[in-house]
Every structure is written in C-alpha cells, then in structure tokens.
Amino acid sequence: MRTRETAESSQTSIVKATDKGKNVVQENQPQQQSVSVASLSVQQLQDIIVNSIRAQYGGPPQTTFMYSKPYTKRIDNLRMPLGYQPPKFQQFNGKGNPKQHIVHFVKTCENAGSRGDQLVRKFVRSLKGNAFEWYTNLEPEVIDSWEQLEKEFLNCFYSTRRTLSMMELTNTKQREGEPVIDYINRWRAVLTAKIDSLNCQR
C-alpha cells in the first residue's frame, strides 16, 4: 500500500492506494487555534474556574460571583404601603425555635403594614449568623411567595432543634426484645436526621 500526501491550501489531503486500485482521500481538518489566557478577562477566568469546579463536584454552572437575590422579579417589584417604615426585627441566628421566630416576624411586619408576599423582601433583615448564611446561599430567583420561603426556612432550621450529639447517637441502644433489623433501621434514622441537620447549616 502506498501513501501520497499533498498539501492544498490550509488542509492536508492523504491519498491512500487500496488493494483494489482505488484511491481513498482523507481530509485532515486544520487545527483549532488555542485561546491565549492573557486575552481573557479576570471575570472570564473566574467563570471558567467556577464552572469547572461545579462540573466536577456538582451544582449548576455559575456565571458570576456577584450576589443575586433569592426571590423573583415579581417579588422584587412589590411595593410597600404608602408611608411604610421598616420595623426593628428580632434576629434569628440559627438556634432557638424557628417557628417562634416566624410568628414574631409576621406579627412585626403586620404591625408595620406589610403582609403576604411583601414579607419575602424583609425576611433577610431578621436573620444573622448561620441563618443569614443559609439565606445568602439560596439559589437566585427561586422564591416566589412568602409561603415558599417560610417552608424552606422551617425545613432547614426546625430540624436543627433535633440535632443530636455524638454521645446521644452512641447511646441509641437496642431495646429489650427489639429485633436486630428494627434496631439497625432506627439507628440509621437517627443518624440520617443528624446528617440532614448538619448539611442544612452549611
């Protein structure tokens, strides 16, 4: 078999003679030019790094490091009542009773003249510490009602009231007459509750 190479313009043609005397022409595509790192902006480099990390470890691609509000544009466009004065809120740091915090927050807002979905925009003012960190880590524009935000908040922090220490976990003993499989399932449920509550506070 003989191979003859000829150069035409920017491509390279490789002609191969087959056993049957027919020629087969293969086209090699021109190599793509590599992008110089120096030509990229700082923001573009940041986006490339973030998207690469998220692609490897999970999570949706992120195009910017700038903070984005967790509520929708509809919520953002809601107007407060005429003459509204922001009240002073009791702040929740991730500890204590989250249901009681919701009650205090809603009552404070209603006394100031705001209610319903208007509460979404003001809720962040009642948070600090781990609770504030949880709020800032919410995905952009996913909250479209006060009911939804309240549910997300309680799903996270109400479970923390049942957070168990490792000592309590190890003290989960098999009850008298309890089948082994039932004990294992009960221990796993206790462990899962602890892991879920810890993940929520990250």
Residue count of the chain: 202
> Is position 102 within any domain?
yes
- What pTM was estimated for this model as a whole? 0.52
Do residues 175 and 190 share a domain? Answer: yes
Residue 77 phi/psi, 5° resolution? Answer: -90, -5
55: its two tokens: 């692609």
Do residues 134 and 193 share a domain? Answer: no
Do residues 123 and 154 share a domain? Answer: yes
Q: Per the structure, how many domains does the chain have?
A: 2
Do residues 151 and 170 share a domain? Answer: no
Residue 162 phi/psi, 5° resolution? Answer: -100, 15
3: its two tokens: 């191979």
Asked whether 48 and 63 are in contact (CB, 8 A), the reply is: no
Do residues 157 and 185 share a domain? Answer: no
What is the C-alpha to C-alpha distance for residues 122 and 3, in angstroms, rounded to an integer? Answer: 75
> Is position 111 within any domain?
yes
Residue whose tokens read 């249901």: 99
Do residues 109 and 85 share a domain? Answer: yes
What's the one-letter identity of residue 176?
E
Do residues 126 and 158 share a domain? Answer: yes
> Is position 40 within any domain?
no
Asked whether 7 and 18 are in contact (CB, 8 A), the reply is: no
> Is position 101 within any domain?
yes
CA 167 to chain centre: 31
What is the C-alpha to C-alpha distance for residues 102 and 163, in angstroms, rounded to an integer? Answer: 20
Do residues 114 and 181 share a domain? Answer: no
> Is position 108 within any domain?
yes
Do residues 134 and 181 share a domain? Answer: no
State yes or no: pLDDT of 13 exceeds 90. no
Question: Helix, strand or coil for residue 34?
Answer: coil
Do residues 81 and 140 share a domain? Answer: yes
Query: Containing domain of residue 175, as a range?
Result: 166-200
pLDDT of residue 197: 52
Task: Tell me the per-residue pLDDT of 69-81, one tens digit each, with 9 for 90 and over.
Answer: 999 999 999 999 9
Asked whether 182 and 168 are in contact (CB, 8 A), the reply is: no
> Is position 20 within any domain?
no
Task: Identify the top-confidence range among 23-32, 85-94, 185-194.
Answer: 85-94
Cβ neighbours for 160, distance < 8 A, ≥ 6 positions apart: 94, 95, 98, 197, 200, 201
> Is position 92 within any domain?
yes
Do residues 140 and 188 share a domain? Answer: no
> Is position 122 within any domain?
yes
Do residues 143 and 124 share a domain? Answer: yes
For residue 123, what are the β-bridge partners? none
Count of C-beta atoms within a 10 Å radius of residue 30: 10
Q: What does each C-alpha distance from 156 to 141, 184, 202 come to in angstroms? A: 19, 26, 11
pLDDT band at 42; cut points 50, 70, 90:
low
145: its two tokens: 């009602």
Strands 23-28 and 11-17: antiparallel
Task: Tell me the per-residue pLDDT of 109-160, one tens digit each, with 9 for 90 and over.
Answer: 999 999 999 999 999 999 999 899 999 999 999 999 999 999 999 988 876 5
